[in-house]
Structure 1
Amino acid sequence: MTKPFFTLLCGADVLAPEDIGRQNILIAGEKIAAIGPNLIAPQNYPCQVVDLSNCILMPGFIDSHVHITGGSGEGGFATRTPEILLSQITTSGVTTVVGCLGTDGTTRSVVNLLAKARALETEGISAYMYTGAYELPTPTITGSVRSDIIIIDKIIGAGEIALSDHRSAQPSYQEYKNLAAQSRVGGMLSAKAGVVDMHIGDGKDGLAVLFKIVDGGEIPMTQFIPTHINRNHTLLKEGIKWAKQGGIMDITSGVSPSAGSAKAVKPSQAVKQALDAGVAIDNITMSSDGNGSMPIFDEKGNTVGVGVASQKSMLQEIRDMVKLEKIAPSMAIRLVTSNIARVLKLTAKGTLKEGMDADFTVVDKDFALKHVWARGTQMVKDATPVVWGTFEHGKH
C-alpha cells in the first residue's frame, strides 16, 4: 500500500526541544508542515492519523559518533565488530548518524564508510561521516582532509583522531594543528561544520595539545569536539575547564562503569557535574560510540576482553538525567538534538518547527521508547521496527 503523503501526529506532549505542551504535528512528505494544538487532517487528501496521547515527542536523536562500518579489532581480526544494522539505530531513537573510523584505518576504509552512509540513507535515515581515523597523517578519499570535506557531500569534518592515547600515531603538536586548519578551511569553503572529532584517551596529557593550539589564537575552540570526556574523573575536570572557556565537551553514553569502563564517570552524572560546575548547556553534547569495539584493558594495557557499544545507551542516559539527576527534559534532550545540530551545522535537524525534517523520537512518560519517524516515515512502532535494513532477518 502506498504511504500517505500526509500524517497527523495527535496529542503528544512536545519537546521541541523547549517544552511547548500538547500539540498536533502535520507531516507532509519528509517535512514538518505545521505544528499546533488544534490541527486537523487536511480535507480531501489521504492522511494517516496517529494518536500519541500520554507520550512525549522529541526531535529524532542525532548520534554524532557511530562506527557504522564496525569497530576496530583491537583483540585480533576476530574482534572486528560487524556493520551496524538499520534497526539497531532506529530502535535506539536515533534518526541521524555521523559515521567514523577508529583505531583501524587499514582494514577499515573511508570509502567503505561513505558507502555505508549512503546505504543507511537509502534505507531511510540521515547519515553523514568524518574523514580519517586515529592516525596522522590520516586516511582520506581524495588525498587531503580539506578536499574530502569540500568535494564529498557526506563528509562534514575529520575524525575520530586519537589524542593522549597509546593507540594514536603519537603525532606532533604541529600535525594536530595542521589537521585542524585543513578541516576548518574545508568547512568554510563548503558551508559545512569542518570540525575535528577528537578521541581523547587515558593519557596523562589529556587536552593539553588542544589547549596549546587554541591558546595560539588562530584556531577557535569550537574547531574541536573532544569526545569520551567522561572516561575518567581527571579528564572530566579538564573537559569542564575546556567547556567553560567556550569549547564543546562530548560525553560518551557508551562509556560507563556498567559497560566495563571502571574508571569512567556515569554519563548522566558527568552532565550533572558539568552543569553544577557552571558549564552552559549549549556547550555539552552526547554521542554513543555506537557499534564500536569496547576493548577492556588490564593495568599493563593488554586487551583482556572486548564488547560492542550500543546506541541504546543514549536514551538510557537521557532518562537517567531526567529521573535521577533531576535535569529538565527540555535541557537533557538538547545534548542529542539541537546542540549537536548546531555544532555540526545540520540545519534541518534537531528542532521541531515548520520546514524542518520530520524526524521524531516518541517515548512514554518513563522515557521508554515507543515510536520513531525518520524523514516522515515511521521506522519503529510500539518499540518494534516496521522498516528493516536490506539484509536484516526481521524483514518481511
Structure 2
Amino acid sequence: MFVLIEGGEVYAPEPAGAASVLVAGDRIAKVGPVDGRALAALGLEVEVIDARGCVVVPGLLDPHEHLLGGSGERGFASQTPEIALREVVTAGITTVVGCLGVDTTTKTMTGLLAKAKAFKEEGISAYLYSGGYDVPPVTLTGSVRRDMLLVDEVIGAGEVAVSDLRSTEPTLAELARLASDAHVGGILTGKAGITHLHMGDGPGRLEPVRRLLAEHDVAPGWLYPTHVERSEPLMREAIALTRQGVTVDIDTVEEDLGKWLRLFCDEGGDLANLTVSSDASIPSPRTLFEQVREVVREFGFSLERALPLVTSNTARVLKLGRKGALRPGHDADVVVLERGSLEILEVIARGRRMVKAGRLAVTERFLEQSNRKVELHGRKYRER
C-alpha cells in the first residue's frame, strides 16, 4: 500500500518547501516531486491525500507519558485511567515513552510493558523506561541493564525522583551506579541508555546532576532531567546544564510552555538540548500539541524552531534513528496540519492512517467486541 501526500509545505522538521511525501508500507520512500499518475499506471494501489494549502510535519514524539494513568496522590480514588490510543493519535503523537511515577506497587513494570506492546499492536511506536521514582529501581528482570538487553521496548532508566519529597533520597553513589548501568545497557544494545530524572521543587534543585558530572564518571549525554520548569531558579540551572551537553525536558502540564521557552531563549539556553513532553496522566496527551501550536501562533516562535522540541531533538536523545524527521528510509510517521490554524487533519503512524480529514480513523481493539460506552471528561475539559 502506498500513501501519497501531495503538494503540502513540508517541514522535515526544517523547512523543505512545497513537496510531496510518498509512503511505502511503514517507511517514507521519497520527499520531493512524485508523479502520482506514473504510480497508478504501474498498477500500484495508491491512497492520495491532497495537502495543498497544508503543512506536513513529522509525527510528534512524547518522551514522558504515564500510560497506566497517574499514581493518585490524593488517595486511591484519585488514580487516573490508562491512556487510550485515540488520546495519543488525535494529538499528532506517533511515538510515546511510558514511565512509572511514585506508585510502583499498583502500577507495575509488567503492566507498563503490556501497555506499550498493546500500543505497538495498534500501530504506533511505544517504549518505556525501567523503574520509577524508587532507587533501587523496580525492574522486570532484576536490573535496568538486563531489562534493556532482554526487552526490546526498554530504552533506559526512569523516571527517578531527585530533589523531591516523594523521592527515596538516593545517594550520589546510587545515582551514579544507576546511570552507569543504564549507559552500559545502551552500549550493549544500541539503545539510548539514558537515566530520566524527575526533578522536584526541593532546595537541592539540579545540584545532584551537577555533582554526578563533576564527581563521577558520568557523561552529560547519560542524563535526561525533566520537569525543569517548576521555578525560574530551576530553569536557569537547567539552561546552564544544556551548555554542558545535557538535554533537559519541559512538561506542558501547567500549559505555560511559551513563558518558559522565552526564558530559556533569553538566558541563552541551547535549544538543540531541549525537548517538550506531556507528562500525560492527569493532563491529556493533546496538551503537548496544543502548547506547541500556541507558542507558534501566539508567542512568535517559528514552526521550524518549535518542531524539533517534539520531533528531531527527542529522537536524538532517545536514539530513535528513524524517528523525528521526514526522510527517505525513516518510519512513516507524518502529520498534516491546516495552514494558519495548525489544526490536525491527518495522522499517519508507521504508514497507517490514524486520523483522516480531522476525524479519528481507528478504534481500540478492546472495543471491537464490546458493548461498553467509555466517555470521560475532566473538569478542565468541561470548562473550555
TM range (shorter): over 0.9
2:210 corresponding residue in structure 1: 211
- What is the correspondence of 1:243-322 to structure 2 with a 5 Å cutoff? 243-256=242-255, 266-290=256-280, 292=281, 308-322=282-296
Determine the C-alpha separation between the residues in 1 that align with 2:3 and 2:190.
32
Paired residue type of 2:175: Y
Q: Is the 8 A contact 1:228 1:255 kept in 2?
A: no
- 2:331 aligned with 1:357, yes or no? yes
Paired residue type of 2:127: Y
2:343 corresponding residue in structure 1: 368
Q: Is the 8 A contact 2:239 2:270 kept in 1?
A: no
User: Which digits, 9 at most, give the CA deviation of each residue in 1:89-121, with x for residues without a partner?
Assistant: 001110000000001001111111111100000
Q: Is the 8 A contact 1:186 1:194 kept in 2?
A: yes
Determine the C-alpha separation between the residues in 2 that align with 1:388 and 1:312.
18
2:14 corresponding residue in structure 1: 18
For the residue of structure 1 that corresponds to 2:111, the secondary structure is helix
Q: CA deviation at 1:49?
A: 1.0
1:68 corresponding residue in structure 2: 67
2:28 corresponding residue in structure 1: 32
Paired residue type of 1:344: L
2:378 corresponding residue in structure 1: none
Determine the C-alpha separation between the residues in 2 that align with 1:165 and 1:280.
26
- 2:168 aligned with 1:194, yes or no? no
Determine the C-alpha separation between the residues in 2 that align with 1:33 and 1:372.
17
Paired residue type of 2:77: A
For the residue of structure 1 that corresponds to 2:88, the secondary structure is helix
1:334 corresponding residue in structure 2: 308
Q: Where does structure 1 lack aligned partners over 5 or more consecutive residues?
A: 257-265, 293-307
Determine the C-alpha separation between the residues in 2 that align with 1:383 and 1:217.
50
Q: Report the TM-score when normalising by structure 1.
A: 0.90
Q: Is the 8 A contact 2:176 2:216 kept in 1?
A: no
For the residue of structure 2 that corresponds to 1:229, the secondary structure is coil
1:304 corresponding residue in structure 2: none
1:261 corresponding residue in structure 2: none
Q: CA deviation at 1:61?
A: 0.2
Identity across matched positions, percent: 41
Q: CA deviation at 1:325?
A: 2.4
Q: Is the 8 A contact 1:231 1:255 kept in 2?
A: no
2:140 corresponding residue in structure 1: 141
1:54 corresponding residue in structure 2: 53
Q: CA deviation at 1:38?
A: 4.4
| Alignment length (residue pairs) | 366
Q: Is the 8 A contact 1:379 1:386 kept in 2?
A: yes
1:162 corresponding residue in structure 2: 161
Q: CA deviation at 1:220?
A: 0.8
- 2:381 aligned with 1:391, yes or no? no
Q: Which moved more, 1:173-182 or 1:312-321?
A: 312-321
- 2:115 aligned with 1:116, yes or no? yes
User: Which digits, 9 at most, give the CA deviation of each residue in 1:273-300, with x for residues without a partner?
Assistant: 212222222111111101x2xxxxxxxx
Q: Is the 8 A contact 1:55 1:363 kept in 2?
A: yes
- 2:77 aligned with 1:78, yes or no? yes
Q: What stretches of structure 1 move > 2 A for 4+ residues in a row?
A: 37-41, 391-395
Q: CA deviation at 1:310?
A: 1.2
